[in-house]
Structure 1
């Protein structure tokens, strides 16, 4: 529930924008691994942002209430200045909870969040862990970028003092022929003694022991040239607690049977606190929090003050609207030309140790007066120029003119000045393709300040007509289309006529076949009757009947001839 509250709060846009964080760790840091009982000790909650900006955190530190008692939670030195939930100690439940944020973003390896003081109740071993933890990216999204939490395993003893001396080496010493050589140290956490470091944690110093060495003295303090002379035994590595911010010196000497070597001095400079930024002024106006600043200048100047108590400010980085940052070592910067509208400026101060703080400035460039488009050609033909545009604007100003196609691509650009009466005009002779276009005009004064863009009505680039018919413009494309339609219609009509003709022929052939078959049947019947009569014995009657039948056959033959001739004639037609 708390994690949701933290992320939801940051998502409101109250937290400023910088580069999105990829990962961050929440660490619990102590001076030792073992503490005496009934004595208070402190543990620090720190964040390693892993080089990316963060601006909020929440967590619950859980501890064994039967072993530890939480005494207090201290916010002094915290990077956060806004606490949605103040640190709450509950010894009854064995936990400490908090939700914290800032209106600025930070990067660093040991960013201080909270210091908690505990008191052990008795001898025991105990582990402290984080739960319900989150770290938010300083990009306004509220994204949880926490990837790992590191708790602590501690031991509590009844001894009044807990000694954590270095691990001793037992060996016979070689015979010494002179004083030992000066120790050569390495410190893995702080490999370069000439640089500032932004990490604070327990660390080891290592060296190689010559064969004749019988004792080692190793002391860490803030005195540059200490020469320790008390041996702690024979050892080749020693652990040291996390350092407070500042300059420290590690001093190591070897001793043999003849005496002490020269002292090796190793400088360790730590600065885990981010710088601070104040007194931001943009275009002569003080920036208050995230309030929107109205700006008239097209290239406004920003002034700022940043401080760092230890390592000092190394440089600044300034970016607008997420574009590439510009680095500068000065406390002022003039922005490049800004278009009218709202913008977000991020100002980052980096100290020598590598810690950063980032502030956001919301500003709006106030546009100057816009030009007017008074006339534009109505007829624009493809493949031709001759687009005329004219308008009015402030005398002595210039007008940036763009011809933009339907996909938003600028196909023509020109700049025209106004005359003494504020008039401007332009003839665009660029051949155009078929499509929709518009003209966009932006005013500009001698400072480079810009107006908001004004747009013309849509311009349709089309073919030049071949002729006009009844008020209708007929272009080459339309003429070709009409001819193709007529040809297609003629082809269809011819096909349909042919099919109808074929259907009629088929019907007439069918009728002719029917009539011929009928006449043939009649003739066949008459011939059969004649054949039967010829076989009759009554010749008188036979002749009369044959005469009658022959007449019918002739009549049927004539009819069949007529049917055949007429139907074939109709088919030919």
Structure 2
């Protein structure tokens, strides 16, 4: 041990030769100003206790509590009974030291461990991890692990060994047939009640969670002046980590998968409470493996397909499977131990199976598999009418698989398809007789119907399909046309109705036209009589007017003629008299002629 300490003094620049250390060790420790504060510097095992069964493996950490004093090196040895426990490995992951003169390892003597390490940076704290040992329990015993030697060097420039306490550990190993004995910590009278622990991140101890950063909370009663806790994977551990402050919650980060326990104690002036324990179950990883395979089928038309779900989850375990086939979800399926999932009866064709294997923490791993169900051979329709009078029975014959269900479908050009199912006989023959005769009116419900106002010939299509006793199905046969004609009397009646539909409107139009012509003629005749009467009145008035005009003109001419007896008329006066007589005669002739034309027109 002294040789290792000498190495670290020279390694980290301490000025004292290695040969002086044995003589000066106690002197330097006594004179060092750190002596008082370093009185509690310790090497200890974490956890200090544990309860296991034979063949269990468990970890023990070597830690240091510097009590506020900076350190940068430590060494020591450990001893255990190799017949009770066996070393299976070491780890320096997370260590406060990164330089090792002696890596943690088994010593030359069985049941011993040696280590010596340090770092150029100093460390101060109460739970500094030096390294981790992994043990396997060999037999039932109370197995102790102790420190025969040890040293912790202060980062004071002189390499002072300030170690004062080395805490050992005791680990109970029970036979496999016995349940582990829980550790017991009796509380003193007047000490606080065990705290009630809760976890907002892991609210139920019975469930697994994918959250790997747990947080724990608890109420702190009046008078509590000390708290210590521990977070490990043992159910009844007594906590050993003291909190510097009175806290009401504690968080941990990046917790490994598995079952963990948070242990907590509260202290008042009368002592520590009994430990409280809170379990959490962490699984932050998806299932390790998932594959789907189809159980071999003897017949590719088998509609009841089975699949093997091979899923493994090393954490919380597989909880359920969410199954979907094509676009149809079938909800959660839980394995009964056979790992075989039986799909529901499926139609022929190519299908896609989509499955999610979900662990207890809700994390999943998905897998898909395509598969095909071959169809049965379609039934053969051997006898059917290509045309049928409405009201006649529809009879269809054919052959298919023995003792199978044959479904006949019929659909009109416009309307919904209807079906009728019959069973084939032992030879595979079948006969379909329509349950209700095909009609040409929808006034009564039946196998098929037509619009009552539309009595013309209609074309339908029929097809058939078969399903055997397993539920396997065929595809549909090709659609076959079927013409349904109305009865002959209805066809003649419909033609008569069609003629009258045309004749009656034409007759009505002709009668209307005759009436219109008669009405116009009547009005025109009355108009002509009235016109004749009016023309006669006009003629009489014109004659009277012309007579007055002639009398008037004659009187003026007579005046001129009388004047000629006294004197001779001038040439101009003679012309006037002649022109007036001629104009009067022309006017009378024109009026007579025009009146004659009008009388002729209105005859």
The TM-score bracket by the shorter chain reads 0.5 to 0.7
Q: How much does 1:391 deviate?
A: 3.2
User: Alpha-carbon deviation of 1:313?
Assistant: 1.9
Query: Measured at CA, do residues 277 and 231 of structure 1 come closer, stay the same or move farther in structure 2, by a change above 3 Å?
Result: closer
1:344 matched to which residue of 2?
352
Cα distance change, pair 322–490 in 1 and its aligned pair in 2 (3 A) = same
Structure that is richer in strand per residue = 1
Q: Alpha-carbon deviation of 1:353?
A: 2.4
Name the SS of the counterpart of 1:432 in structure 2: coil
Aligned CA distance change for structure 1 residues 397 and 244 (closer, same or farther; 3 Å): same
Alignment of 1:70-81 (within 5 A): none
1:192 lines up with 2:204 in the alignment = yes
1:460 Cα offset (Å): 5.6
Q: 1:443 aligns with which of 442, 466, 470?
A: 466
Matches within 5 A, 1:483-502: 483-502=500-519
Measure how far apart 1:185 and its partner are: 0.8
Which residue number in structure 1 is paired with residue 251 of structure 2?
Answer: 239
Q: SS of 1:454's equivalent?
A: coil
Distance 1:263 1:513 in 2: 135
List alignment gaps of at least 5 residues for structure 1: 1-157, 166-175, 286-293, 468-472, 538-552, 568-573
Post-superposition Cα deviations, 1:492-532, rounded to whole Å, max 9, x if no partner, equal 22112222333344444444444554455455556778899
1:453 aligns with 2:487: no
Q: Compare CA radii of gyration and give the structure with the larger one.
A: 2
SS in 1 for 2:513: helix
Aligned-pair Cα RMSD in Å: 4.1
Q: 2:280 is paired with a residue of what secondary structure?
A: strand
Change (3 A) 1:162 1:481: farther
After superposition, the Cα gap between the structure-2 partners of 1:503 and 1:379, relative to the gap in structure 1 and judged at 3 Å, is farther
Secondary structure of 1:228's aligned partner: coil
Inter-CA distance 520–316: structure 2 relative to 1 (3 Å threshold): same
Q: How many residues align?
A: 367
Cα pair 2:434 2:447 within 8 Å, conserved? no
Q: Note closer, same or farther for the CA distance 1:479–1:216 as it changes in structure 2 (3 Å cut).
A: farther
**Distance verdict in 2 for CA 1:162–1:272, change over 3 Å:** farther
Is the deviation greater in 261-270 or in 399-408?
399-408
What secondary structure sits across from 1:401 in the alignment? strand
Instruction: List aligned pairs for 1:128-139, cutoff 5 A.
Output: none
**In 1, distance between residues paired with 2:236 and 2:447?**
82
Question: Paired residue for 2:410?
Answer: 403
Runs of 4+ in 1 over 6 A off after TM superposition: 158-165, 527-537
Q: Tell me by how many angstroms 1:456 deviates.
A: 3.0
Q: For residues 245-394 of structure 1, what are the structure 2 equivalents within 5 Å?
A: 245-284=257-296, 295-326=300-331, 327-330=333-336, 331-379=339-387, 384=391, 386-394=393-401
3-state DSSP of counterpart to 2:507: helix
Change in Cα spacing, 1:510 to 1:208, as seen in structure 2 (3 Å) is same
Shift in Å, 1:302: 1.4
CA gap 1:443/1:272 in 2 versus in 1, 3 angstroms: same
1:531–1:184: structure 2 CA closer, same or farther, 3 Å change rule? closer
User: Are 1:295 and 1:363, in contact at CA under 8 Å, matched by a contact in 2?
Assistant: no
Q: Which residue of structure 1 aligns with residue 420 of structure 2?
A: 413
Q: TM-score, normalised by structure 1?
A: 0.55
